[in-house]
Amino acid sequence: MEEEHPGKAGDPGEVSRYEFSGIEERHGKIPKWLACVYVALLIWMVYYLVRFWTDKG
């Protein structure tokens, strides 16, 4: 595997190359909108588990 370094290692733009397959991948980042989805779902999960752990009728 070869690595090209547009920035320092771990930068979102850093591209790694897999020599034998020719696949390249960026280190990348998590977009803000998706991070918001994660947080919203985790909050909902806690609420739902507490609210519906038992059948309150």
Partner 1 sequence: MSQEVASENRDDLVDRETVLRLLLSAAFWLVFAPTIGVILSIKFNYYDFLGNVSWLTWGRLRPVHVMGVIFGAFSTAIVGLTYYMVPKLCGVRMYKESWSRALFWIWNIGLTASLVSLPLGQNLGIEAGEFPWWSNIIIEIALIMITIQVLVTVIRRKEQRIYVTLWYLTAAYIWTVFNYAFGHFILPYSMPGVNNAAMHGLYIHYVVGLWITPAGLAVIYYFLPLAARRPLYSHKLSLVGFWSLAFFYPFVGTHHYIYSPIPYWTQTIAIVASMMLIIPVWTVLQNFYGTFVGSWKRFQESYTAKFLIIGALFYLIGCFQGSTEALRGMQRLTHFTDFVIAHSHLTVFGTFILWVTAGMYYVIPRVSGHELYSRTLAQWHYWLTVTGFSLMASVLTLQGLMQGTMLDVGADFVDSMVAMKPYWLIRTLAGATMDVGALLGMWNFYMTVMHGRRIEAPAGGPAPAEPLWT
Given 1, 5, 6, 7, the residue binding partner 1 (CB under 8 A): 1
- Note whether 16 binds partner 1 by CB under 8 A: yes
Residue with tokens 């696949």: 23
Letter string b/e over residues 1-33, b meaning 16 or more CB atoms within 10 A of that residue's CB: eeeeeeeeeeeeebeeeeeeeeeeeeeeeeeee
- Note whether 30 binds partner 1 by CB under 8 A: yes
Q: How many chain residues bind partner 1 (CB under 8 A)?
A: 30
Tokens of 39: 């947080």
Binding site for partner 1 (CB under 8 A): 1, 12, 15-16, 18-31, 34, 37-38, 41, 44-45, 48-49, 52-55
